[in-house]
Amino acid sequence: MINIAIDGPGGAGKSTIAKAAAKELGYIYVDTGALYRSVGLYALRKDVKTDSADEVVPLLKEITVELKFIDGSQRVFLNGEDVSEEIRTPEASMAASNVSAIQAVRDFLFDLQRDIAKANNCIMDGRDIGTVVLPDAQVKIFLTASAEERAKRRYIQLTEKGQEVNYEDVLKELQERDYQDSHREIAPLKPADDSVIVDTTEINLEQSIDTVVNVIRERI
Ligand code: DC
């Protein structure tokens, strides 16, 4: 199977770009952030402290997370409930980042990711795909952009979805999450040694997709 790993900080456009590239190449697109978001959402609903391993780990035995691919688009199910939209709030983002620093949570979601990659040609995006989940991926891309540009894009995306947010809060939340995701002890966000770095600060969406598709085509 052909496995492409795309990692990078929040708001770099990973999901939009990876989705478009996957469509062009005929692969499935797997958004692994949705898995951490689902665990985070469950912890939020249970009103536990999402950064406390002692409080989050016992919940794992109550949780089933599944990914389904409907018309090529991914939906995530938490105990059978489709939570694909609900996991996108700023609260769920922070909860995801918090629970993702817990080793038992990463272990819990590991096999699911590996099994999908074994069975499908896929582009998988996340933070540790090239470094931990798919170290043997044929192509690894680290997709990034400046924090301000990422915040601007995320702000537009959330506003278009009707969420009431302000730019400063979005920027602050992204920076907090970047710091936390890059500085945690386990599986921190960092480019794999053999990754190609694509910086999209100065290029538009179409150019970013072309760049990523070209990087992939050159290597497979
Ligand atoms: O990609 P995203 O913004 O939806 O991810 C939400 C959080 O989940 C992110 O802040 C860190 C965590 N995450 C992770 O630790 N490893 C992954 N492979 C994907 C996401």
Question: 106: Cβ–Cβ under 8 A, 6 or more apart, which residues?
Answer: 100, 128, 186, 187
pLDDT in tens, the chain (220 residues): 999 999 999 889 899 999 999 999 999 999 999 999 999 999 999 999 999 999 999 999 999 999 999 877 899 999 999 999 999 988 999 999 999 999 999 999 999 999 999 999 999 999 999 999 999 999 999 999 999 999 999 999 889 989 899 999 999 999 999 999 999 999 999 999 999 999 999 999 999 999 999 999 999 9
Q: Distance, CA 203 to ligand 1 centroid (Å)?
A: 24
Give the pLDDT score at 163.
Answer: 86
Which protein residue has the closest C-alpha to ligand 1 atom 20?
33
DSSP state of 63: -
pTM of the model: 0.93
Residues with CB under 6 A from ligand 1: 10, 32-33, 36-37, 93, 96-97, 100, 126-129, 177, 181
- Ligand 1 atom with least separation from CA of 184: 15
The region that residue 162 occupies, defined by phi over 0 for left and psi between -120 and 50 for alpha, beta otherwise, is left
Give the pLDDT score at 80.
Answer: 98
Cα–Cα nearest to 38, from 106, 72, 86: 86
Q: What is the token pair recorded at 170?
A: 């979005």
Give the pLDDT score at 89.
Answer: 87
Q: Distance, CA 209 to ligand 1 centroid (Å)?
A: 21
Identity at 123, one-letter amino acid code: I
Give the pLDDT score at 146.
Answer: 96
